[in-house]
């Protein structure tokens, strides 16, 4: 998984509780992303970061916030979890390759269940 770890790998939480997922990389890549994957949908971008303290919203950012205080760590926070946020969450990293393309490498995923 290209030097990317996610924690926790599985979590069950109750509606209304805050949840933080962590992505850690050892590749020193500039870009980091959070996606969610749900049945019937392709991977959807939640938030991304283009550097330390530089983040921006993706297509499904409502209810989520992120922070990146170090190059290697990207945190995703659900301020008040809802059942609609039950999903598998993937972190990805990217950097420009020799051809100028930004290959994305994905972490192993975190399965979150909100009851």
Partner 1 sequence: KNQVEQSPQSLIILEGKNCTLQCNYTVSPFSNLRWYKQDTGRGPVSLTIMTFSENTKSNGRYTATLDADTKQSSLHITASQLSDSASYICVVSGGGTSYGKLTFGQGTILTVHP
Map residue 51 onto helix, strand or coil: strand
Output the CA–CA distances (angstroms, integers) from residue 8 to 47, 62, 100, in the order listed.
Answer: 19, 22, 33
26 is a contact residue toward partner 1 (CB under 8 A): no
If binding means CB under 8 A, how many residues of this protein chain bind partner 1? 20
41 is a contact residue toward partner 1 (CB under 8 A): yes
Is 98 or 115 the residue whose CB approaches partner 1 more closely?
98
Residue 114: closest CA among 90, 88, 81 = 81
Q: Which residues bind partner 1 (CB under 8 A)?
A: 1, 4, 40-45, 90, 92, 99, 101-109
């Amino acid at each position: 998984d290209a030097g990317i770890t996610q924690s926790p790998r599985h979590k069950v939480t109750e509606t209304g509780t805050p949840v933080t997922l962590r992505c850690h990389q050892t590749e020193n890549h500039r870009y980091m992303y959070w996606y969610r994957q749900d049945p019937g949908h392709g991977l959807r971008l939640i938030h991304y970061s283009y550097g330390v303290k530089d983040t921006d919203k993706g297509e499904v950012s409502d209810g989520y916030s992120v922070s990146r205080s170090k190059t290697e760590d990207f945190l995703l926070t659900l301020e008040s979890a809802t059942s609609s946020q039950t999903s598998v969450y993937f972190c990805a990293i990217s950097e420009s390759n020799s051809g100028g393309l930004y290959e994305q490498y994905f972490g192993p995923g975190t399965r979150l269940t909100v009851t």
